């Protein structure tokens, strides 16, 4: 098995799906691993080389020999126009996102296969590996940090955002604001029982915030008035189909709306399934918060929806993900999770081929 770890196209993406120690274990199992040189990855090229990996030129995945498995995290760059290899990454194209058909055409044109990490699930439908905890933790922490700073009239956190050395660096900033006598917001986490929701609740509770935790039971019969009575909303719901609307533009200025800060950890604004249709594109490290309206008290409502939140704490997030992912990778490509991901790919490819 030849595995090729590509350098991420996105400049702000510092995470990796396999750490040097995980790569070393795969090499002991007989795998051959090439790692593209990268100045931004959380682990250095030298660490991978010391683990037995071959360091190759960045972008060389585009000319990898047939049979090579290309591993990455986030979406691919626009070139090459056709994809010939088996590819493993988060593609974000299976929920009717804009451009999904064009991306599938690249696979159809080259004969490649996509194993979307989001759809590596076991027989119970549980994802085999995810960055969810750190996405939830960072999304909630960032929103709380901004909310507290605003109450003190401060413009924080400083932008553009930069990766933090670890969670303690973020926690220290929040602690400083709390110790300064700032009142804590009343928070609500939607999807609280999942990985992301657990991380969000942990971040908010660690700061001492009162947290309302909602999951399927509460969203199946949504009490929108109760939802709008909170100060800070964190959405961690993984949408797989239509049916859930948390709030829209008509809810923002209602007299009973207290919300001033929203963190959309799920961040799926390009999908028709988006439960928060109050924005139309992810926010960025350069501009992490946008104003989307005013609440019932006339206060500005700010929203953050960064689609690679765990990269703000890349070392911890990568180590956690790699521990989950390694045993799954060792079963490539006939393990149940890989079969599940390939079945979804083939279903979508059938739609493209049939012109549906």
What residues are annotated to the active site? 74, 92
Measured distance CA(192)–CA(215) in Å, rounded: 6
DSSP symbol at 187: E
* DSSP single-letter state for residue 121: B
- Whether the Cβ atoms of residue 301 and residue 263 lie closer than 8 Å to each other: no
Strand order in the sheet with 69-71: 54-56, 32-36, 2-5, 69-71, 86-89, 113-116
For the chain, how big is the Rg over CA atoms in Å? Answer: 21
Pairing of strands 2-5, 69-71: parallel
Non-local (6+) Cβ contacts of 57 within 8 A are 36, 37
Tokens of 82: 């056709």
């Amino acid at each position: 098995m030849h595995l090729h770890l590509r350098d991420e196209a996105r400049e702000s993406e510092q995470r990796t799906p396999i750490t040097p120690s995980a790569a070393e274990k795969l090499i002991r199992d007989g795998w051959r691993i090439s790692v593209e040189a990268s100045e931004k990855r959380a682990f250095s090229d030298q660490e991978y080389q010391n683990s037995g990996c071959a360091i190759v030129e960045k972008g060389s995945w585009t000319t990898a020999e047939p049979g090579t498995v290309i591993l990455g995290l986030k979406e691919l760059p626009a070139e090459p126009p056709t994809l010939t290899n088996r590819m493993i990454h988060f593609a974000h194209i299976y929920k009717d996102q804009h451009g999904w058909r064009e991306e599938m055409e690249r696979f159809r044109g080259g004969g490649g296969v996509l194993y979307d990490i989001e759809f590596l699930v076991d027989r119970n439908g549980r994802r085999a590996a995810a960055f969810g905890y750190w996405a939830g933790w960072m999304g909630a922490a960032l929103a709380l940090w901004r909310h507290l700073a605003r109450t003190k009239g401060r413009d924080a956190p400083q932008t553009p955002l930069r990766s933090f050395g670890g969670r303690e660096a973020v926690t220290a900033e929040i602690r400083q604001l709390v110790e300064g006598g700032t009142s804590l917001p009343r928070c609500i986490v939607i999807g609280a029982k999942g990985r992301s929701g657990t991380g969000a609740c942990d971040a908010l509770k660690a700061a001492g915030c009162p947290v309302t935790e909602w999951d399927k039971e509460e969203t199946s019969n949504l009490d929108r008035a109760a939802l709008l009575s909170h100060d800070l909303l964190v959405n961690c719901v993984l949408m797989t189909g239509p049916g859930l609307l948390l709030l829209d533009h008509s809810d923002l200025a209602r007299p009973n709306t207290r919300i001033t800060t929203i963190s959309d950890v799920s961040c799926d604004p390009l999908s028709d399934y988006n439960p928060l249709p109050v924005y139309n594109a992810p926010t960025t490290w350069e501009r992490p918060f946008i104003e989307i309206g005013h609440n019932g008290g006339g206060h500005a409502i700010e929203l953050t929806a960064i689609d690679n939140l765990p990269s703000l704490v890349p070392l911890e997030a990568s180590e956690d993900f790699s521990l989950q992912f390694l045993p799954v990778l060792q079963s490539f490509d006939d393990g149940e999770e890989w079969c599940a991901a390939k079945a979804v790919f083939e279903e979508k490819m059938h739609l493209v081929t049939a012109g549906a």
